Structure 1
Amino acid sequence: MWYLYGVVLLAGIANAIQPGQNGALAKGFSYPLTAGLVVGLGTFLTVLVIGLLSGRLALPTVAEAARIPWWAWCGGVLGGGIVVTQLLVARQIGAAAFTGLLVTAGVVTSIVLDHFGWVGFEQHTATLPRILGGLLMIAGVALIARS
């Protein structure tokens, strides 16, 4: 299972590269949000191809869809918000500040989500080391954003 950490590391690298790619795409269009549709299409096609090749893709049944909590359907909206932010903000504040803020906000939010067991996560107490880690990340991103 160690290889999964490698997959996540690659996703983290992609997370840092993607805002620059998306920003360049947005700059090339008369209307920058047009790039969001191109990104969405790329996302759709990637999931479709990987899903079909791996055999892990099927439309949900009505019963499956009915069992899913309402808030679980909003992930795509949040993903769209991230892409719009990449398109409109990332180039102005730079890769380090953008990615640092994005990751740090995600980690701090994750500590809270874990502590309370919200949005489908198992409960993991916000211990002092976790809280200190989040605070150190906030301090680190503040130093990066100041430069």
Structure 2
Amino acid sequence: MPGSLSFLVAALLAGAAVPFQAGANAMLGRLLGHPFWATFVSLGVSAVLIVPLMVAFRLPVPSVGTALNGPWWIWIGGAAGVVYITAALLLAPKLGAASFIVAVIAGQMVASMVIDHFALMSFAHRPVNIARLAGLAFIIAGLVVTQWASTVAPATQPASNPTQNGDQK
């Protein structure tokens, strides 16, 4: 259990980065003039950051042939990244960070339960049961409450200056 607790904490920290990613990319999209440019730059920054880590860890060059012989669905990760980043750029500013993220989490949970239930993508079989459905229901209830709260207390417009909190260009 201690090992799985550290994994959960790491996953929580990774999840905590997501709304910051959405906000940063949304502002980048506004400054660059189009969300697709921000998606491109965001993925480019990812590549620039991962290459030195790969060099530092002295990772061997992989056999692309082995990957080409793998299942077709191994290639959808990059496409999913583009879909998510672009959706975050377009939707997070309109919905707000909390509403966007809870909607993303609800979507992730529905898809994850299907993947687990049918043991797709080489995941272990974890059938849908009443407890898992209850967890999903709580997340969907959170989505409804968060969205309702957004309509009760309308959003105020941020300052028109793209730099906030005293940041200087």
Same fold flag (TM > 0.5): yes
Q: CA deviation at 1:73?
A: 0.8
Quote the residue 1:69 is aligned against: 71
CA RMSD of aligned residues (A): 1.5
- Matches of 1:3 and 1:139, distance apart in 2: 28
Q: CA deviation at 1:6?
A: 2.4
Task: Give the letter for the 2:115 counterpart.
Answer: L
- Matches of 2:82 and 2:92, distance apart in 1: 15
Quote the residue 1:94 is aligned against: 96
The equivalent position to 2:52 in structure 1, one of 49, 53, 64, is: 49
- TM-score, normalized by length of structure 1? 0.91
- TM-score, normalized by length of structure 2? 0.80
% identity of equivalent residues: 27
- Matches of 1:48 and 1:20, distance apart in 2: 25
| Structure 2 segments unaligned to the other structure (5+ residues) | 150-169
* Bigger mean CA deviation after superposition, 129-138 or 53-62: 53-62
Q: Structure 1 runs of 4+ off > 4 angstroms?
A: none
Residue 121 of structure 2 aligns to a residue whose secondary structure is: coil
Quote the residue 1:25 is aligned against: 28
Is 2:18 the counterpart of 1:15?
yes
- After superposition, give the CA deviation of every residue in 1:22-56 in whole Å (9 maximum; x if it has no partner): 01111111223211111010111222222222234
Is 2:101 the counterpart of 1:103?
no
Q: CA deviation at 1:57?
A: 5.5
| Structure 1 segments unaligned to the other structure (5+ residues) | none
Tell me which of the two structures has the higher relative contact order, counting C-alpha pairs closer than 8 angstroms and 6 or more residues apart.
1
Higher Cα Rg: structure 1 or 2? 2
